[in-house]
Structure 1
Amino acid sequence: MSDWKPRLIASDMDGTLLRWDDTVSEATVAELGRWRADGVPVVLATGRPPRWMVRIREVLGTGTAVCCNGAVLLDLERFEIVHEDPLDPEVLESVTTELRRQQPDTWFAVEYGLEFRHEPIYEPRWDVDAPGVAEATLAEMVAQPVAKLLARHESMTRDAFVDLVGDVVGDRATVTTSSTDALAEISAPGVTKATGLARVAAGHGVGPEDVIVFGDMPNDIAAFRWVRDGGGRAVAMAHAHPDLLDVATDVTGTNDDDGVFAFLRSLH
């Protein structure tokens, strides 16, 4: 694949495109600009909700972002949601009831596209005072479809809690994580970054064999498998979770070492 070049570039944000200080290097921005000038779309594929995309929009400007682990597609230029695959209230109620029965100290929050609701006891780590953020009861939160359900536990380890959530949820929804905390991210069944990326790529007439994707966490695994199995390049950051490294085709430097920039630059 020495002369291989992507027709679509996809990248996770936190821990991948963004450095640990939440910025994108000038070199990376310039490199992405060169590819876009050659007609190669740049797609962000993130667990972040749309409301966390304002600052990156100021950096990259245009394109489609795959948000909430594939549940939401956001047009960055217009800042409009163009597609959504939500979790149904019936599933939300059954999943939250069973999780709380098995682990009473599980706290919940939900993403509604541009809004965020959390139980009073749930402690948001970011954007606590941002517009669209509010407290609500669990009954209120699960009464309507949501883009993503968040379940947090303050004393269990991340992997043990995510495994527990996965066992409880079964095939009713998709469970993943992108956090170092015991935080499980729950989406509609079958919805992953892979499904979101596939939809965006198809809109550009691109298949997985022509896609390069960068990531660092377990919520990138589905996208890595889609790209790898289709003949594209799935590039893990040097510090990536071991489960993601297992399905990668390549490894690059860390986010603070501008690993995305370095790998793309090597393809010229």
Structure 2
Amino acid sequence: MADWRPSLIVSDIDGTLLGSDEVISDTTLAELGRWAEAGVPLLLATGRPPRWMLGIREQLGSGLAVCCNGAVLLDLESFTVLEEHPVTTDVLREVTGELRRREPDTWFAVEYGDQFRHEPIYQPRWDVDAPGVSLATLEEMVAQPVAKLLARHEHLPREQFVEMVAEVVGDAATVTNSSTDALAEISARGVTKATGLARVAAERGLGPADVVYFGDMPNDLAAFDWVRQGGGRAVAMANAHPDVLAAATDVTDAHTADGVAVFLASLPR
């Protein structure tokens, strides 16, 4: 693949594109700019909801972002949601009911639109007092479709909890994880970063062989599989989760060392 070059750059955000200061470095912005001038755009693929994308928009100005692990396609420039693939109310009730029965100390939150609602006992790590954040009962939260259901446990180890959630959910929905906490992220059945990425690529007449994808956490694995199996490059950051490192075609420097820019600079333009 010595002469291989991408037609689409896709990157996760946290732990990948951003440094430890939550900023895209000047080095990375400059490298992305050079590729954009060569006709190769950037697509973001993140577990973040749209409400967490304003700071990214300020740094990039424009572009598309696959948000909520594939459930939402966001136009950064207009800050408009172009597509949504929500979890239905029937599935929400089924999944939350089964999880609560299996592990009573599982607490829930939901993302939809620009809103984040959580049970009073659920302990969010960020945006505790931000606009759009509110308390709700579980009954209220499952009364409408949502982009993402979050299940958290304060005492179980992360891997054990996420595996338990996946077992309970089965094929009713899609379970992933992008946190060091015991936090399971639940999307509609079949919805992943890979499905969101594939739709955007297809609209441009591109396939996995045209894509370089950068990621660091288990919620990137579906996209890694799609890219790798189709002949593209699935690039793990040096700081990535072990499962992501194992699934990668390539490994680059850590997010704190401009790993995305380092790898892109090594490719022919």
Question: TM-score, length-normalised on structure 2?
Answer: 0.98
Structure 2 equivalent of residue 22 of structure 1? 22
5+ unaligned residues in a row in structure 2: which ranges? none
Give the 3-state SS of the residue equivalent to 1:150 in structure 2. Answer: strand
What's the offset of the Cα at 1:77? 0.6
Q: In the comparison of the two structures, how many residue pairs are matched?
A: 268
More displaced 10-residue stretch of structure 1: 242-251 or 222-231 = 242-251
Instruction: Please name the residue that 1:222 is paired with.
Output: 222
SS class of match (2:121): coil
Aligned pair 1:90/2:55, yes or no? no
Question: C-alpha separation between the residues in 1 aligned to 2:109 and 2:5?
Answer: 40
Q: Aligned with 1:187: secondary structure?
A: strand
| Structure-2 separation of matches of 1:104 and 1:199 | 38
Provide the rounded CA distance (Å) in 2 between the counterparts of 1:138 and 1:235: 38
Letter in 1 for 2:160: A
**Matching residue of 2:248:** 248
Asked whether 1:2 is paired with 2:2, we answer yes
Counterpart of 1:106 in structure 2 is: 106
How far is the alpha carbon of 1:129 from its aligned partner?
1.8
Whole-angstrom CA distance in 1 between matches of 2:40 and 2:145 = 34
User: What secondary structure, in the 3-state scheme, does the structure 2 residue paired with 1:109 have?
Assistant: strand
Does structure 2 conserve the Cα–Cα contact (< 8 Å) formed by 1:65 and 1:74? Answer: yes
In structure 1, the partner of 2:63 is 63
Q: Matches of 2:171 and 2:113 in 1, distance apart?
A: 23
Q: String of CA shifts for 1:158-188, please: whole Å, max 9, x gaps.
A: 0000000000000000000000000000000
1:74-85 equivalences in 2 (<5 Å) = 74-85=74-85
Letter matched to residue 100 of structure 2: R
The answer to whether the 8 Å contact 1:86/1:148 transfers is: yes
Inter-partner Cα distance in structure 2 for 1:259 and 1:203: 28
SS state of the match for residue 95, structure 1? Answer: helix
Deviation at 1:17, TM superposition (A): 0.4
Contact 1:86 1:146 in 2 (8 A): yes
Q: Which residue matches 1:132?
A: 132
Matching residue of 2:121: 121
Aligned equivalent of 1:231: 231
Is the 8 Å Cα contact of residues 66 and 73 (structure 1) preserved in structure 2?
yes
- Secondary structure of the structure 1 residue equivalent to 2:122: coil
**Residue 63 of structure 1, CA deviation:** 1.0
With the length of structure 1 as denominator, give the TM-score of the two structures. Answer: 0.99
Alpha-carbon distance in structure 1 between the residues aligned to 2:22 and 2:68? 18
Deviation at 1:16, TM superposition (A): 0.4
Correspondence list, 1:247-266, <5 A: 247-266=247-266
Contact 1:72 1:113 (C-alpha < 8 Å) held by counterparts: no
Q: Which amino acid aligns with 2:58?
A: E
One-letter amino acid of the structure 2 residue matched with residue 106 of structure 1: T
Give, in whole Å, the separation in 1 of the partners of 2:113 and 2:46.
Answer: 13
The aligned runs of 1:16-55 (5 Å cut-off) are 16-55=16-55
1:40-60: CA deviations, max 9, x gaps? Answer: 110010000000000000111
CA distance in 1 between partners of 2:219 and 2:19 (Å) = 18
User: By how many angstroms is 1:113 displaced?
Assistant: 2.6
SS of corresponding position for 1:29? helix
Match of 1:183 in 2: 183
Q: Would you say 1:150 and 2:150 are equivalent positions?
A: yes
- In the alignment, the residues of structure 2 paired with residue 181 and residue 161 of structure 1 have an alpha-carbon distance, to the nearest angstrom, of 10
* Residue equivalent to 2:161: 161
